[in-house]
Structure 1
Amino acid sequence: MTSATDLPGRPREGAPGGPATARATCVLAPNPSAMTLDGTNTWIVAEPDSDLAVVIDPGPLDEAHLRAVVATAEAAGKRVALTLLSHGHPDHSDGAARFAELTGTPVRALDPALRLGGEGLGVGDVITTGGLELHVVPTPGHTADSLCFHLPADRALLSGDTILGRGTTVVAHPDGRLGDYLDSLRRLRALVVEEGVELVLPAHGPVLTDARGAIDYYLVHRAKRLAQVETAVESGHRTSGEVVAHVYADVDRSLWPAAELSVRAQLEYLGEHGLI
């Protein structure tokens, strides 16, 4: 994350937790930090009249949290039948193996190394567990294996770390690439417009009620930062550390290491396009 700026449509109630839509309920993991905001949002998604649920991002290896996810599903009359990962960062995936043991579910992910008894995930895949309709949307950029999930019935997008509920996300270079990330944002914007998506259910931070506004904000923010990095280089700031200190002076220093990953991705992008 590179900023604490509020995004368009951010609810006033602050930290997530509990039902967000008719089909999606959040269980907040107890891992707050500068990078994870309030903590990791583990999402339980299910049709209201079904007894089967899908869990997205079980989160860190925290026994109490993993059991709370199971208990929350059971309290709603649901049995967890499938686990999905938005990407492989530890705050999303470290608890997956233990969660699979607790629930007896397969774990599906884009990265084969993260799958546990389950298939991969890719373009065109639709999750139909318990009558659910959950579309898989590959969105590389934050990481190479990043995914979002479109929930048409609730006009919602489960965005992983591609879009956060507060601030902006890091392009985790070298695995994350800025060109891929910008393409992913444009792809999501088209999806939001064409499918009438209204809500963003992020993996960190509160729900956003203006999906299109949030994506437009991200695109403008990235363009501004890229121009600032280009100007910084032209002014003689050559290393990623020098550029961070110049361009991200308004950002809390605890976030500078993450910002430096994004700067490296920006420098790579500018070099590839012959701009520096």
Structure 2
Amino acid sequence: MNALTPVTPFAAVLRADNPGPMTLDGTRSYVLRAPGAGTTVVVDPGPDDDAHLRALADAGPVGLVLVTHRHGDHTAGAARLHELTGAPVRAADVAHCHGGDELRPGEAIEAAGLRIEVVPTPGHTADSVSFHVTTPAEPPVVVTGDTVLGEGTTVISEPDGSLGDYLASLDVLEQLGDGVQGLPGHGPVVHDLGDRVRQYRAHRLERLEQVRAALRSLGVEVPDGGGPVPEGVAERVVEAVYDDVDESVLPAARQSVVAQLAYLFSPR
């Protein structure tokens, strides 16, 4: 089993044993506690893996569990961790709360000697949030879930992902992130979140230009006032834009294209 590893003076990470094309080398669960605090906050319990969940419980006592978004590799273990620790689990989506209330946008939580601000960052999913974590003694960090990853780029997930929302969330994180560490749901620590966000935005805009070019080559016009995406266009754009990706990530590529087309064909 992977070991709990400190990443800042008040944050440690435990990587779940669930590697794959979408989870990279495994989902990251974070244990937050200011030095001298009596309890911990766990962010993203991860999969329903008993050894992983018991390791999180043993790092406690756990006073609170927070969730960044609905995906099962972050939430499947939430109910079991609640059983093991009695700690309330809070998420933006009530379906993933266990013994705790929904997270409120902009809410400031005081726990484990820390101030944890709930920052809505929809786009990857509609319920995605990040956590801006501060303490008087140390520089802040931002726990980003899957909105910003430690390597690669994130997927705009069906059915509720939105590229427009995602670009707006990048703007929010850029304001918080210059010179600030990001703690992602997958991959290593991001040492300058603001810089990574700018790279992400440039990548998204480049992909949009590639999609526009593919549409032109297919003879498909984007109506000025928006409109429905023509049937079958998404598959043809995937073939044109993502012809160099591994077959295992083609479903994710298709999700991204669907989100890009929805953005381009939406009313302006």
TM-score clears 0.5: yes
**What's the counterpart of residue 150 of structure 1?**
132
Cα drift, residue 192 of structure 1: 2.1
Q: TM-score, normalised by structure 1?
A: 0.88
Following TM superposition, the consecutive aligned residue runs of length 4 or more in structure 1 with deviations greater than 4 angstroms are: none
Q: Residue type matched to 1:45 in 2?
A: L
Cα drift, residue 244 of structure 1: 1.3
1:137 paired with 2:147, answer: no
Q: What secondary structure, in the 3-state scheme, does the structure 2 residue paired with 1:36 have?
A: coil
Which of the numbers 161, 166, 189 marks the counterpart of 2:151? 166
Deviates more, 1:168-177 or 1:243-252: 243-252
Q: Residue type matched to 2:35 in 1?
A: P
Given that 1:16 and 1:205 are in contact with CA atoms closer than 8 Å, whether structure 2 keeps it comes out as no
1:254 paired with 2:241, answer: no
Cα drift, residue 85 of structure 1: 0.5
Q: TM-score, normalised by structure 2?
A: 0.90
**What's the counterpart of residue 52 of structure 1?**
39
**Whole-Å Cα distance in 1 between the matches of residues 186 and 29 of structure 2?**
9
Cα drift, residue 251 of structure 1: 2.0
**What's the counterpart of residue 173 of structure 2?**
188
Cα drift, residue 127 of structure 1: 1.6
Cα drift, residue 259 of structure 1: 1.1
**Whole-Å Cα distance in 1 between the matches of residues 134 and 143 of structure 2?**
11
1:22 paired with 2:16, answer: no
Q: What secondary structure, in the 3-state scheme, does the structure 1 residue paired with 2:126 have?
A: coil
Given that 1:174 and 1:265 are in contact with CA atoms closer than 8 Å, whether structure 2 keeps it comes out as no
Q: Residue type matched to 2:175 in 1?
A: A
Cα drift, residue 16 of structure 1: 9.6
Q: Once the two structures are superposed, what CA deviation does each residue of 1:54-97 show, in whole Å capped at 9, x if it has no partner? A: 000000011111011122x1xxxx41011110001000000000
Task: Name the % identity.
Answer: 48
**Whole-Å Cα distance in 2 between the matches of residues 121 and 249 of structure 1?**
40
**Whole-Å Cα distance in 2 between the matches of residues 172 and 17 of structure 1?**
29
Instruction: Identify unmatched segments of 5+ residues in structure 1.
Output: 1-14
Given that 1:84 and 1:107 are in contact with CA atoms closer than 8 Å, whether structure 2 keeps it comes out as yes
1:212 paired with 2:194, answer: yes
Q: Residue type matched to 2:40 in 1?
A: A
- Judged with a 3 Å threshold, the aligned counterparts in structure 2 of structure 1 residues 16 and 221 are, in CA distance, closer, same or farther, namely farther
**What's the counterpart of residue 242 of structure 1?**
236
Which of the numbers 91, 95, 99 marks the counterpart of 1:113? 95
**What's the counterpart of residue 229 of structure 2?**
none
Which of the numbers 164, 167, 172 marks the counterpart of 1:179? 164
Given that 2:18 and 2:25 are in contact with CA atoms closer than 8 Å, whether structure 1 keeps it comes out as yes
**What's the counterpart of residue 51 of structure 2?**
64
Q: Once the two structures are superposed, what CA deviation does each residue of 1:168-191 show, in whole Å capped at 9, x if it has no partner? A: 000013310110000000111112
Q: What secondary structure, in the 3-state scheme, does the structure 2 residue paired with 1:159 have?
A: strand
Cα drift, residue 253 of structure 1: 1.8
Q: What secondary structure, in the 3-state scheme, does the structure 2 residue paired with 1:269 have?
A: helix
**Whole-Å Cα distance in 1 between the matches of residues 210 and 17 of structure 2?**
36
Q: Once the two structures are superposed, what CA deviation does each residue of 1:202-242 show, in whole Å capped at 9, x if it has no partner? A: 01000011111100000000000011011111111852122
Instruction: Identify unmatched segments of 5+ residues in structure 2.
Output: 221-231
Q: What secondary structure, in the 3-state scheme, does the structure 2 residue paired with 1:119 have?
A: coil
Given that 2:40 and 2:112 are in contact with CA atoms closer than 8 Å, whether structure 1 keeps it comes out as yes
**Whole-Å Cα distance in 2 between the matches of residues 35 and 48 of structure 1?**
34
Aligned length: 252
**Whole-Å Cα distance in 2 between the matches of residues 107 and 44 of structure 1?**
14
Q: What secondary structure, in the 3-state scheme, does the structure 1 residue paired with 2:112 have?
A: helix
Q: Once the two structures are superposed, what CA deviation does each residue of 1:29-57 show, in whole Å capped at 9, x if it has no partner? A: 00000100010000000111101100000
Q: Residue type matched to 1:163 in 2?
A: V
1:199 paired with 2:186, answer: no
Q: What secondary structure, in the 3-state scheme, does the structure 1 residue paired with 2:100 have?
A: strand
1:40 paired with 2:55, answer: no
Cα drift, residue 273 of structure 1: 4.4
RMSD: 1.6
Given that 2:175 and 2:194 are in contact with CA atoms closer than 8 Å, whether structure 1 keeps it comes out as no
- Judged with a 3 Å threshold, the aligned counterparts in structure 2 of structure 1 residues 17 and 234 are, in CA distance, closer, same or farther, namely farther
Given that 1:24 and 1:44 are in contact with CA atoms closer than 8 Å, whether structure 2 keeps it comes out as yes
Q: Residue type matched to 1:30 in 2?
A: D
1:31 paired with 2:18, answer: yes
**What's the counterpart of residue 103 of structure 1?**
85
